[in-house]
Amino acid sequence: MHTLVCQPADAPALFSAEGLVGVVFLLTVALVVTGALIAVNARRLVRAVSGLAICFTGLAGVYYFLLSPFLAMMQMLIYVGAVSILIAFGIMMATPEEQQATGMHSKATLAGPLAFSVAALIFAALTLLGLKTEWQVFPRQGTFDIKEVGLSLLTTHGLVFELISIVLLLAIIGALVLAQKGRN
Amino acid sequence: METSMWHALLYLVGIMAFAGVNAAWLGWCERKGAARIQRRIGPCEAGFAGLLQPLADGLKLLSKQLLVPQGVDGIIFRVAPVLAMIPAITSMAVIPFSENIGARAMELSVLLLFALASIAMIAILLGGWASGNKYALISSARAVSQNLAYEIPMLLTVITVVMISGSMNLRDIAIDQQGGFWHWNIFRLENGHFLTMWISFIIFFICAIAETNRAPFDMAEAESELVAGFMTEYGSMGFGLFMMGEYLNIVVGACLTAVLFLGGWDCPFGLTPGIWWFLLKIYILIFTFIWIRWTYPRTQIYRLLNLSWKILIPFSLANLMVTAALIKVF
């Protein structure tokens, strides 16, 4: 695995290993952006969910490039395999196949430019931050394999782990209560 | 691990060939198996014992018009069959066929297989929805609720294997079981794992049948109620791709079962381990898939879901506890 820290001056040739890796990286980023655009702009809800799934897949690729394959797999398993499918499921159950077009509303003409300018400001700020900051590269400590992730999850971050399990328990109980009401 | 370009290309071609041959001829195997179980002969006209039938079928499917009916969601309708094929072929990249044959011995390959399986689920969901047909929609809703329900006990039983082997790498899991059938995870003597692992194996195999949407759990394509389920509107190669995807999923399921529980490429008596043992194991498992399909009648959807939520999940949770206790005690 390569760490992708290369200066523009010594950019690798396209057909070397590093060059191909760079092309794959650009493809994953393109996947994220395309997916997000589809998710926002699609008229049909199921297409929007498909765009969301594409975006999640691209994000998994970005995680892989950030040297954490475990997170990438989990992103695929949970966000693509469970979250998108559950959303799609909800849409399919809720509306008949004649989809209502999610067109422009009168409020959108007001809120749209406002939201766009806020988003542009945040983007500009983050880009400036990224470009101006003197980034220090820390040497990697440990191998970040799954064993280490598990150990730190159960020792250093034990409290968080327990809190998450309480949240899940509450979610399960809430679902049970709702389902019971629906049945009566 | 060798990383030259030729290495990657060879595996690419080899895996595509293995996937293509299996996807085509497992259809023949299924028809022959079904026929024999029902006291018929099955395909016998094209070639010896009908062995050329898949080629004839393939040519027929390829030469038919790719029909996109009115009122379907064009893009998703065309993409769904392709999405059904891709994850099954990609999964083969991490399967260790023998000690030296395996495209990529990736850490976390078990997780990768399950991540890819979730894409196949999306393909069924989108294909059924995009058809704009109520039967197809009901079918894909069934398929997804079934796959979500059976993924849980499947992952729980896989965790028992991962705990015993201490690795998520399929190759390491297989190497851990070398040296005779008493080392295989299903009959493993050490730590007394044979007490519970056969239960794991049975749960895993039931889940594998359910995850590949095979009878007796083929609620998604129950032809007596739903025409052909999510494939109703598909003709020509769209239908062909869905069928090939189903057979490839069976192959991947059999490979996974062989590696996780049956020692991968190991010989039962510790002699001459190699790829032939692996192939023997997966084809016995695939035959079992066909055997079960044509022996048992289809269940009902609520029974199917009850089986998972009320029986398999509690059993697999208990199994997980006992396995962990066995590892701690010994």
Closest by CA to B219, choosing from B147, B150, B139, is B139
Could you tell me the residue ranges of all domains in chain B?
5-329
Residue A98: pLDDT over 70: no
Segment holding A127, helix H or strand E: helix A106-132
Residue A173 — pLDDT band, cuts 50, 70, 90?
very high
Name the residue of chain B whose CA is nearest to A15's CA.
B5
Q: What is the pTM of this model?
A: 0.82
Residues B309, B133 contacting (CB under 8 angstroms): no
C-alpha to C-alpha distance for B123 and B117, rounded to whole angstroms = 10
Predicted complex: ipTM over 0.95: no
Residue B16: pLDDT over 70: yes
Residue A93: pLDDT over 80: no
Residue B65: pLDDT over 50: yes
Number of helical H runs and strand E runs in chain B: 12, 0
Average pLDDT rounded to a whole number, residues B143-170: 86
Residue A124 — pLDDT band, cuts 50, 70, 90?
very high
**A47 vs B: CB within 8 A:** yes
**A82 vs B: CB within 8 A:** yes
Nearest by CB: A89 against B115, B144, B151: B144
C-alpha to C-alpha distance for A150 and A110, rounded to whole angstroms = 48
| Residue A76 to residue B121, Cβ atoms within 8 A | no
| Residue A81 to residue B117, Cβ atoms within 8 A | yes
**A67 vs B: CB within 8 A:** no
Residue A11: its pLDDT value, please?
Answer: 62
One-letter amino acid identity for B299? T
**A101 vs B: CB within 8 A:** no
Q: Does domain A1-97 have CATH number 3.30.450.40?
A: no
CA-based nearest distance B122→chain A, Å: 7
CA-based nearest distance A146→chain B, Å: 8
Size of interface A-B (CB pairs under 8 A): 74
Residues B316, B157 contacting (CB under 8 angstroms): yes
Residue A96: its pLDDT value, please?
Answer: 55
Residue A1 — pLDDT band, cuts 50, 70, 90?
very low
pLDDT in tens, A23-73: 888 999 999 999 999 888 877 777 888 899 899 999 999 988 887 888 888
Residue A14: its pLDDT value, please?
Answer: 66
Name the residue of chain A whose CA is nearest to B168's CA.
A146
One-letter amino acid identity for A116? F
**A84 vs B: CB within 8 A:** yes
CA-based nearest distance A47→chain B, Å: 8
For the CA atoms of B308, B314, B319, B321, the dihedral, rounded to the nearest 10 degrees, stands at 140
Closest by CA to B147, choosing from B227, B74, B230, B75, is B230
C-alpha to C-alpha distance for A114 and B120, rounded to whole angstroms = 40
**A98 vs B: CB within 8 A:** no
| Full DSSP string of A21-40 | HHHHHHHHHHHHHHHHHHHH
User: How many angstroms from the chain centroid is the CA of residue B260?
Assistant: 13
Residue A33: its pLDDT value, please?
Answer: 92
Chain A environment of B110 (Cβ under 8 Å): none
Residues 115-144 of chain A with CB under 8 A from chain B are: none
